[in-house]
Structure 1
Amino acid sequence: MQFPQNGNFYGKISILPKFVNTAMENYFMNYFIWGLFTVKLVMCECGYPPEQHLEEAMKPSVFQGKEWDPSKHIQEMPTDAFGDISFTGLGPKVGKYVRVSADTPPRTIYQLMTQHWGLDAPNLLISVTGGAKNFNMMPRLKNIFRRGLVKVAQTTGAWIITGGSHAGVMKQVGEAVRDFSMSSSCKEGEIITIGIATWGTVYNRGSLIYSNDTLYVLDEESQGNLSCLDSNHSHFILVDDGTHGRYGVEIPLRTRLEKFISEQTKEKGGWHITDQEGRIQGARSSEGPIHLQGSDVGCCLMSLMASLPWSFVFPGAVVSSQVLGSGCHFSGGGPDPALVLTLHMPLAAASRNRDHFGQESWDHQLKLAVAWNRVDIARSEIFTDDHEWKVSDLHPVMTAALLANKPEFVKLFLEQGVRLKEFVTWDTLIYLYENLAPSSLFHGKLQKPSLTALLSKPAFLFGAQLERHSLFSPPLAPQGFTGGESPVLANLALLSQSQDCTAAALACSKILKELAKEEDDTDSMEEMLLLAEDYEHRAIGVFTECYRKDEERSQKLLIRVSEAWGKTTCLQLALEAKNMNFVSHGGIQAFLTKVWWGKLCVDNGLWRVIMCMAFFPLIYTSFITFRLQPMSCLTRTRAFFTAPVVIFHLNILSYFSFLWLFAYVLMIDFQATPSWREYVIYFWLFSLVCEETRQVLDGLGTKVGGDFWNKLDVCAILIFIAGLTCRWIPSTLYPGRIILSLAFIIFCLRLMHIFTVSKTLGPKIIIVKRMMKDVFFFLFLLAVWVVSFGVAKQAILIHNEERVDWIFRGVVYHSYLTIFGQIPSYIDGVNFNLDQCSANGTDPYKPKCPESNKDKRPVFPEWLTVILLCLYLLFTNILLLNLLIAMFNYTFQQVQEHTDQIWKFQRHDLIEEYHGRPAAPPPFILFNHLQLFVKRVLLRKPAKRHKQLSKQLFPSPGREQSALLSWEMYLKESYLQHQQCQEKQNMEQKIRDIAHGYQPPSSQLPLGKALGVSAR
């Protein structure tokens, strides 16, 4: 153990054990003063027998016969008892302990606890004094006391200070902490319980000396008048004044230490925990910490505070809030009416404190309420008509509530008028990031010296749709990125309490899903995914209410550009989060269908569209209908050929023509000098390259890099260019044709993309893609058997084959074909034929012959090769192939159960692609590209893409947007009320409410008798 650099801890000693090295005796001069004389016992005034003193103390001196004076007869020495202490028994617990002098400065002890023991500064001190005698408490009161004490200590980050002995109320406190530790998880944290005891009254204290890792035996039977240390305390401070068996020595040091801690400044949560300038601390120096004196009565009082309504314990108008800032000294003794007076005195002091300090005290009470996590008191006693709060005064406590994960307070402050746009400044955001908990998920991800790198980190949560300049617009910043743990994320639903709640709920779902990918803990990851699903259901519920009221306005809400969420839309947020349930909603699908048909009526059958494509004059008749009437001939033509459904079918026709012409050139018309058909293919491919380039420049670059079909397009184009390069070199003409043939295969695979429009075939493409992943992992298992059997077979049959290609054939290729029934003829002697192989391996077209004798008969062990073949076929054909079939069946069942959702979700990508695509199909699309080049590059006109999938409402007056958001807020409240009514109608909820609210009158009698208080 190391001590502070400014000095050592000292223990006052008037005795010195015999095992101390005699070389140190001159340093410790102690004196023996004759005290109590008995027949067989001689004791010193300090309480120790003569043999427990140094030899110098026993010599005759001028002090004999004089009154014993601790200041003269006791000297200090560096402490010899400190380190870790372990207790015997079931589940021993390791704690820290130190032996200190009675006049040790409190600052030195505080530095030991915070710097060397690693304790966080407390928000609150709970000092439990007195009650050293054992007593019997009713089981119900005992449970209430333990639960209340632990709840207060856990929610406020408190230190519990007791006498540290294994008796009385201190034992009850230790058992309460023990029960909490056994039933809680590591994430809930440890409750700090500090025992400050007198060194001279500790039984078996000799085992604590000169032992850095002590095993302490708790022996209550042999302790006599001394006390054993409680095994459930986490830290011990043993106060020594050089005496033995005298209780109460630690009281002055404990009082000074508690006062010193209460006067400290703690920077956490946006305020200083101190008694100055209206800032909050756990225990104020002028009023002291919360003391629970006595045993039974003190426990009853704590029970009342923890379990009963606040107004029952402290009746009065200002009791609920003022008790937080006052020291509550609970003195025991029985049902004395003075108890009630003692209880009310700190409340009166707190009331006077409010009147005297004004605004400072109001702020103080609010910060204390946040520290105690008592939002009910803040609502009923602090935010009243007696005081008018300024919004700016709530910003510090808002920051504190965010850092301390107090979502109910965040909600309360939002209700009290805190505007996130004013609250979230650059300084506030940086402060929130800098004060992340070290164990949080984002703490390691934000270790960046660059502020730009720090503030751009959240962009990965929203993909490319989140624009950097709006990263910190409300309501993104308040709580979404101030913690990485699941309890913080569980409260992101607060964001959905504000305006734009549908987008907020979808954004919460996106955040949770992205953080789940970063989370290593499986339980936390599953919790995040469940919460993400819950927020998706909230968004669905609100949108359903809107869609039932007004379809048109709900669709505007769906595509409204949200400034608060990176200038994206609700639909785009749902797609980014892969919220299939939301996207498959009937209202959204109706909107997508409307976009798919463009200005055509959705009632038109597909066969009518195909007929109009074949005989386009039909569009000028009533054969096909449009949504807008009447329309001129030019408007009809433009509306028809710009509809996504028409563009899609024209591109299919064009793509089939391209593949047919490509196949014709490869098989029939591939000459040394390219024909005109081949030049048409080049021109056609150039139009496809231009279209891919347009998508990149149009802001879809991330899709080109992330979408499977775009990757396939890029791969096919690159392979085609490689083949074309080889084709123009005369010496590589044939390799060029081979590479072009491979490109043709990929172009054909790209054709599967058109099946996504089909409700039947679309999900089957998803099944094929997932089965390809299954095959990829299955190949690792198959490769183990193929390679092991192939190498063994090759080594047994053939001697020193040096041709690499034939080694590969024998090891991998032939072993692989064996799975499908092509068994090699040379594996046994029945079909053995040397004419089918090369004896020395000189024939490049024949394998090397197996081992044989002079009679040209095989000499390899046929029985072994046959057994290996049977085992190989058993495991590969029966076991592994059936495993693959089972994997395919599982994948099919998974997709088949959600066929409708999958098709509706992937349908959007197809609609979005052809909604923003130029009307002309390749290769005529080059004319559209030329037109776009002139508009955007030469004329500098902005792009007007996705005009139906995102809509910027009139920002200047803001009337339409404000009206739409107000309408959404109104329907959100209706949805929440409906949900609350359903929950109340739930039978299980009714039973829980009844069980929670019912309390028999008899249960109040013991508390009332103990306190002298009755509920009225």
Structure 2
Amino acid sequence: LQFNTDTVYSLEASYTGDKTFIKSAQHFGSSDILFYVRHLGNTLFFANSCTLYFQSEQLHKAMFTALVGNKPDFVSLLLENGVSLRDFLQKETLCDLYKLLPNCLFLRRLAKRASTSQNLSRSPFKMHPRTNPERDLFLWAIIHNNKELAEIFWEECQDCMAAALAASKILKKLAEEGHDADEGEEMIKLAKHYEKRAMDVFSECYSCDEERAQKLLVRVSPFWGRTTCLRMALEADTQKFVAQSGVQVGHCVNSYVQISRTNSNSGLLFLCPRCWTMETPADFGCGFFSMQAKPLNGWMRLVSLYSSPQVKFYMNIVSYFGFLALFAVVLIVDFQPAPSGSEILLYIWIFSLVCEEIRQAKMYINDLWNILDVLSIVLFIIGLGFRLDDTLFYAGKIVLCIDFMVFCLRLMAIFTISRTLGPKIIIVKRMMLDMFFFMFLLSIWVVAYGVAKQGILIHNEDRLGWILRGAVYEPYLTIFGDVPKNIDNTEFDISACSMNGSDPLKPKCPVLNEDEMPAFPEWLTIIMLCVYLLFANILLLNLLIAIFNFTFQEVQDNTDRIWKFQRYELIKEYHSRPAAPPPFILLSHLYMFLRSVLLRRPASPITHFSE
């Protein structure tokens, strides 16, 4: 049965005619419903009447058309009137929905994964994934950057807080990889919207039942990669969510530490605490803490104490200071052609640090501290290789001295636990990034002035070291007040330079006139210097100060939120860390190796934080 547009419009005149049309179309199938929905546009009165007379499977094509045509009102109406998403969203349907999305980097990656999945599906074993049509349609709407449809399916999701955090992470990643600035801004805006949604859900749960809300944070979600809301919040960089009082003050961050409040930080630092706790480590069913409290015996108190992130942190601080002291002694006092006992101990210590970095590789986060860790280890390996070669012995010591500086910079990470100094570390990191991009702008002026000055003063200099010195190094020092003297004829000394550049320790003399004085135009070089200092020393450096001031103010306005997020990251790192500090951590690694590889026993349930 085919209907034309005139027939549809004539039905708007009477409700009786509409019912007659629906009953007639009911005998012919969903194609007529699809025609009906398309031609009625957003006339919800007729669509509502239509959905009352048809079964769920007859409305699947209408649902598909409403999704593709961006009709959120029709989608809501179809869901309210019995459309089953589990029956509607088959594998082929989901693939068709993704095929209609605009081409982007994500879709190319998705197509590659789909091809791999098809190859796996031909293998003899069968996979039975846990289907969740609400989640799949929600992700489709998020990737489509459709706020209205995403909101509909988010409300249908079983784990709405995890869904909101996942959406925030996905949208931020898509905004980074996209090339459309306007679309990227919309994605960032939608990501912030779902971060706020997650915060609202947790706040509502926390106001009703604090304990159950805290369990919800660390509950493993089977539909979102078997991860937890806490871990997802960290990966999505949702600082506002992590900084909520319910997350920070509750059991999720503080109670599981299992240390009595009467213990001071100095007592923990010198390992003289009162071993008292009311938390039992036997039950970690909700993630990493137990809601059942009872006194522990003396041995279990010690185990709980030295397994707590706070004690691990302090012991690792003491260990790291000892490591730096040993490193300094080896470099300054005891660096012999044949490795001494202290140097061998240093090698063992470094090896324990390498083992710990390998253990953390699966939960690595690309930040400054991990970059410094990798850089310090790589430099040490290079320096050790040079040091063991007699011809490169001194070069190896130089590399190890530079490596010592990197290890000292890594020491700044201990200040992240401080409420005062922690945000300042973030300020330093952001200022370093600002300065990195500022150096590109400054280098234009440095190279422009340096090359012009070098070309005017010196004729045909062929020594690379002196070329770089005159074209880059001296103009850079000029910014800090080291005004060059070779542009002033009154201070020219012919004995301080080499006429033909044959002396490697002296610069080449400028072109001389018949009076054996520099022939270059002195007035021009002075004007060039004044203009260079005006732009580089006054304009650009003040611009850098303004950038630093903006960065400082931006971080300072969110000090509390940033510190809480940093503290959570630090607790997460040290919760999964073995109790013994380096170099004794090698014993812990040996135990874990024997347990997992030789004894075939699963890892401890408290090994990973919030997983």
Fold equivalence (TM over 0.5): yes
Say whether the 8 Å CA contact 2:164–2:198 is kept in structure 1. Answer: yes
Per the alignment, residue 472 of structure 2 pairs with 812
Paired residue secondary structure (1:906): helix
Q: Amino acid of the residue matched to residue 874 of structure 1? A: L
Local SS of the residue matching 1:491: helix
Distance 1:866 1:503 in 2: 65
Inter-partner Cα distance in structure 2 for 1:711 and 1:443: 27
Distance 1:824 1:854 in 2: 24
* Selected match of 2:161 from 502, 507, 511: 502
Q: Is the 8 A contact 2:37 2:47 kept in 1?
A: no
Give structure 1 stretches of 5+ with no counterpart. 1-274, 276-283, 291-324, 331-342, 457-467, 952-1016
Measured after TM superposition, the shift of residue 658 of structure 1 is 0.3
**1:689 correspondence with 2:354:** yes
Which residue number corresponds to residue 10 of structure 2? 328
Residues 402 and 479, structure 1, Cα contact 8 Å, conserved in 2: no
Map 1:86-97 → 2, pairs under 5 A: none
| Equivalent position of 2:92 in the other structure | 427
Question: 1:488-637, aligned counterparts within 5 Å?
Answer: 488-498=146-156, 499-591=158-250, 594-595=253-254, 598-601=257-260, 604-611=263-270, 613=271, 615=272, 618-620=273-275, 624-627=276-279, 628-637=293-302
Between Structure 1 and Structure 2, the one with more strand by share is: 1
> Offset of 1:673 from its aligned partner?
1.1
Deviation at 1:920, TM superposition (A): 0.5
Question: Match for residue 289 of structure 1?
Answer: 5
Q: Which digits, 9 at most, give the CA deviation of each residue in 1:129-185, with x for residues without a partner?
A: xxxxxxxxxxxxxxxxxxxxxxxxxxxxxxxxxxxxxxxxxxxxxxxxxxxxxxxxx
Deviation at 1:681, TM superposition (A): 0.3
State the structure with more CA Rg: 1
Matching of residue 656 in structure 1 with residue 321 in structure 2: yes
Q: Shift of the alpha carbon at 1:948?
A: 7.7
Gaps of 5+ in 2: 120-126, 280-292
Equivalent in the alignment of 2:525:
865
Aligned partner of 2:76 in structure 1 is 411
SS state at 1:672 partner: coil
SS at match of 2:490: coil
Equivalences for residues 194-343 of structure 1 within 5 A: 275=1, 284-285=2-3, 288-290=4-6, 326-328=8-10, 343=13
The Cα shift of 1:592 comes to 7.0
Q: Quick one: structure 1 residues 873 and 568, their matched pair in 2 at CA, closer, same or farther if it must change by over 3 Å? A: same
Aligned pairs for 1:638-717 within 5 A: 638-696=303-361, 699-700=362-363, 702-703=364-365, 706-717=366-377
Shift of 1:414: 3.6
Give SS of 1:825's match. coil
Q: Cα distance, 1:372 vs. partner?
A: 3.0
Task: Provide closer, same or farther for how the CA distance between residues 579 and 367 of structure 1 changes in structure 2, counting only shifts above 3 A.
Answer: farther
- Residue of structure 1 equivalent to 2:563: 903
Q: CA deviation at 1:849?
A: 1.9
CA–CA separation in structure 2 for the residues paired with 1:442 and 1:828: 58
**Structure 2 contact 234–569 (Cα < 8 Å) conserved:** no
1:772 is the counterpart of 2:400: no
Tell me how far 1:898 sits from its aligned partner. 1.5
| Cα separation, 1, equivalents of 2:338 and 2:451 | 48
Give the count of matched residue pairs: 590
In the alignment, does 2:421 pair up with 1:761? yes
Aligned partner of 1:576: which letter?
E
Q: Which has the higher contact order (CA 8 A, sep 6+)?
A: 2
What corresponds to 1:784 in structure 2?
Answer: 444
Indicate yes or no: 2:526 matched with 1:843. no
Contact 2:214/2:251, CA 8 A, preserved across alignment: no
Which residue type is aligned with residue 610 of structure 1? L
CA displacement at 1:641 relative to structure 2: 0.2
Counterpart Cα distance in 2 of 1:604 and 1:394: 65
Check the 8 A contact 1:763/1:895 in 2, yes or no.
yes
Superposed counterparts of 1:91-240, under 5 Å: none
1:917 aligns with 2:577: yes
d(CA) in 1 for partners of 2:263 and 2:62?
60
Q: Deviations over 1:503-534 (max 9, x none)?
A: 22222223332332344333332222222222
* 2:223 alignment partner, SS class: helix
> 1:268-324 CA distances to partner (integer Å, 9 max, x unpaired)?
xxxxxxx4xxxxxxxx34xx322xxxxxxxxxxxxxxxxxxxxxxxxxxxxxxxxxx
The answer to whether structure 1 residue 368 and structure 2 residue 44 are counterparts is no
Helix, strand or coil: the match of 2:92? helix
| Cα distance in 1, alignment partners of residues 66 and 606 from structure 2 | 41
Equivalent-residue separation in structure 2 for 1:666 and 1:409 (angstroms):
74
| Partner Cα distance (2:105, 2:339) in 1 | 59
> What is the alpha-carbon distance in structure 2 between the residues aligned to residue 469 and residue 686 of structure 1?
43
**Structure 1 residue 654: deviation in Å?**
0.4
Residue 979 of structure 1 corresponds to none
Q: Structure 1: how far apart are the matches of 2:259 and 2:503? A: 70
Find the counterpart in structure 2 of residue 719 from structure 1.
379
**2:110, 2:602 → 1: CA distance?**
39
Q: Deviations over 1:19-58 (max 9, x none)?
A: xxxxxxxxxxxxxxxxxxxxxxxxxxxxxxxxxxxxxxxx
Equivalent pairs: percent with the same residue?
Answer: 46
- Report the alpha carbon displacement of residue 677 of structure 1 after superposing the two structures with TM: 0.3
Instruction: Measure how far apart 1:831 and its partner are.
Output: 1.7
Is the Cα–Cα contact under 8 Å of residues 458 and 510 in structure 2 kept in the other structure?
yes
SS of the equivalent of 1:552 reads helix
Q: 1:838–1:846: 8 Å Cα contact kept in structure 2? A: yes
Q: Which residue of 2 aligns with 1:396?
A: 61
Listed one character per residue, the Cα deviations across residues 104-147 of structure 1 (whole Å, up to 9, x for unaligned) are xxxxxxxxxxxxxxxxxxxxxxxxxxxxxxxxxxxxxxxxxxxx
For residues 212 and 142 of structure 2, what CA distance do their matches in structure 1 show? 36
- Distance of aligned partners of 1:934 and 1:784 in 2 relative to their CA distance in 1, 3 Å threshold: same
Q: Report how far residue 757 of structure 1 moved.
A: 1.1
TM-score normalised by L of structure 1: 0.55
Equivalent position amino acid for 2:171 in 1? L
What amino acid is the match of 2:151? Answer: A
Amino acid paired to 1:579: T
1:792/1:652 CA distance change after superposition, 3 Å: same
The residue that corresponds to 1:451 in the other structure is 114
> Structure 1's 447 and 770: CA in aligned 2 closer, same or farther, altered over 3 A?
closer
Alpha-carbon separation, structure 2, partners of 1:490 and 1:352 = 33
Contact 1:506–1:536 (8 Å) recurs in 2: yes
Q: What is the distance in 2 between the residues matched to 1:378 and 1:906?
A: 55
Gap change, CA 1:350 and 1:828, over 3 Å in 2? closer
Q: 1:367 to 1:935 in 2, by over 3 A?
A: farther
- Matches of 2:498 and 2:553, distance apart in 1: 51
**Cα–Cα, structure 1 residues 832 and 948, in superposed 2: closer, same or farther, change >3 Å?**
closer
Partner of 1:826: 486
Q: Alignment RMSD, CA only?
A: 3.0
AA at the equivalent of 1:328:
S
Q: Distance in 2 between matches of 1:575 and 1:912?
A: 10
Does structure 1 retain, via aligned residues, the 8 Å contact 2:442–2:540?
yes
CA distance in 2, matches of 1:916, 1:941: 18
Contact 2:214 2:247 in 1 (8 A): yes
**Judging changes above 3 Å, is the alpha-carbon distance between structure 1 residues 419 and 807 closer, same or farther for their aligned structure 2 residues?**
same
- Whole-angstrom distance in 1 between the partners of 2:589 and 2:352: 9
Q: Residue 397 of structure 1: CA displacement? A: 3.1
